[in-house]
Structure 1
Amino acid sequence: MLHAYLQFEALTDHEYKYSCPTCGDYPPVVIMGVHKHTASPLSENDIEKPPGNFKGEVNLEEFWESLSKEMISRGFVANGGHNPFAVPPSYHFWAPWIGKNTRHSDTVLNTEFEKVHSSKSASEILEMTLTEERLREELFKQKDDVIRSLCNECGVDSTGSRSDLLLRLSDEMKSRQTYDKIYSKIWSATGGWGVIMCPCGIVYSLKCNLRAESHQDFADLLLSWHHMPNVIIYDFAQALSKHINLRAPEELPISPFEGRLVEPTQDNTELAKCGQLKVSLPWLDEKTRGTESDPHGHPVTGSSDHYVLCDRFHEGSTEDGDVLRKLTLVPQLADKVNSEIAEQLFAQMKKNDYFLNMSLPSTHLFQMRNIIHHYNENKANKLSTRSTKSFGSNLLTEAVLGTF
């Protein structure tokens, strides 16, 4: 049954456009998130190493065409037989999916090999991919038996309540040895999948990570877009901003103020903390035109500014420097953008976790693109219907008013 379904989907002429009827191909505002509960149980030895000259560029169309061929050919291979079209996991031939009109070309970025194959020391890699605050946040989500087991492994007293254990581990995390143990236990498994969505809830980019997710994965996606969004909403905004600018130091894509809304002065920080700072981005309501327009501006807004902001859930834990990244500082976004829309998608998709995790990596990836495709289509149809009804209602109102 599964092979028949996969063959059907592979032979169907899906467009996989991954685009919103309301926001178009280049949404100026995006929300990003990662679903960690869907991941193939791959060890480092299961993943083919990249050639020495690999620079992190993959032909997206070739990769997904190869996956389709594998799905089709399975029906012609005896059970347990060798499939000559099989696509094994590898760092150099493993691509995300980005809609044709959204990506800048068929060649997209996937630099996951740098997470493992790097000249940096292990501690430097850890510091790049994960902050202590983020690891602590993940630790607090773990089940009691995992927390107690970690205490035993780290030589920490494992008696007492959950709160006692978490407090002890948090204190011990300042030690590099303990930090590394906790990291390897709860984070360094294979990486789930990341999405970039518009505020309407349509998925524009999908990436199934081979290794633990980091801001590097989202940088790959954003740098593969034809037009980078003006506002990027992400849990760990500061890390993403710095990483993207380090990737393109001659351009500094995330600017002004490294993606903060205003210059990070003491006065601005204090005003933001007190709730007395508001930063208007008028081009979100109406495109900048005429003499004020920027030739390098976004096609929807006309602005070339790029901000990376924190979602509402993480606003309370922002440090002084990141208090200027709060979504609620922008009147055009504060009450209009649901920054938790990615989490809502993941909640809907939980029912798929078990069978996806039991699948081969190539099957997992192929099915995920189809699942999100059908989700997008249903979401887009609802948006179009709602817009049509609203437009028709406005026309009726205008006609009635015109008779008086």
Structure 2
Amino acid sequence: MLENRDIALEKAVLIGLITREQDEVKAKEYMDELEFLTFTAGGEVLKRFTQKMDMPNPKTFIGSGKMQDVQEFIKDNDIGTAIFDDELSPAQERNISKILNCKVLDRTNLILDIFAQRAQTSYARTQVELAQCEYLLPRLKGMWTHLERQKGGIGMRGPGETEIETDRRIVRDKIALLKAKIKTIDKQMAVQRGNRGQMVRVALVGYTNVGKSTLMNVISKSEVFAENKLFATLDTTVRKVVVQNLPFLLSDTVGFIRKLPTQLVESFKSTLDEVREADLLLHVVDISHPNFEEHIDSVNTILDEIGSSDKPIIKVFNKIDAYKPEPFDETDLTIERNKSNYSLDEWKRTWMAKIGNNALFISALNKQNLEDFKKRVYTEVRKIHITRFPYNHFLYPDYENME
């Protein structure tokens, strides 16, 4: 399963909280996702630590007793990295680093690292670099602990502070430079989008690792990189697709995730212009994931943020081949009937029934129900196309009436 099994994985521990807002079930799910993120980044999780608290400790995120447990485990097992499930403040990061004496990362830092690994084009690399610089700026102070003894008097205007201010200026200048570069590339991309003419544009959106790239490959017969890892695709890929002689443009966009770092949302908003300018959205959902409903909510939130929630949307429930409900025996009164043991047919009778023919159930990997998928997309694209080119309607007959 591990494609990089010959490469030594970095040993890590995960640390998370159970709070009023985040119960035990949700905390476990976030930690599962954090472990998958760690694996994607090239790490191996040896242990998870969770603690029940009303709110994070402002100094060390977790309590002193739990911190001691983490410290002992790290020392005994030669752990190089401690990863926290929420974003740490600069002060928390500094305090924890001093106690644990190892590399300390938070969820934001981990996601930024994965994005840096996955960025292939100059545009994606520039966006990631901008997000990294914005994340780094308030944390510069912690990088100058080796100059602590050289601090000045009352105002601490010693060499250390001078060094920090110099670095802050360098990072601010870098941010301004990167923003200008992104602005230039955005203009170029806007021209490219304009040059595509009035073809109907369809965009694949969804949570990370739901199978958007696999579906793109199947529909467009192209080779877009796809694998079972988070954020396999960062760069937007656009392909011309023809279904029953009706052409349209299909774009594959970066996947969304809960607790997505603010810096990344900001720097990647321009990438999501493909979504903003799309005529039709195909919201791909991994129905085999136990919390796919939360994933839908996360995607809807981001679509709302970028002003795209009012577009025509078809929900594509992917990975039906991997969907396995928990066993349920009606005669066993100890087993409670809930969503975890719904069959696919039962799911279709829930809120999904209200979506009607805008809910499709497929397996992109096994090519199950792809004909139904193509018919539905064709019908929707045709509807948009003939409003744009009314004199062309006779060229594209109704798919439903075709042999």
TM-score under structure 2 normalisation?
Answer: 0.30
Higher-strand-fraction structure: 2
Highest relative contact order (Cα 8 Å, sep 6+), 1 or 2?
Answer: 1
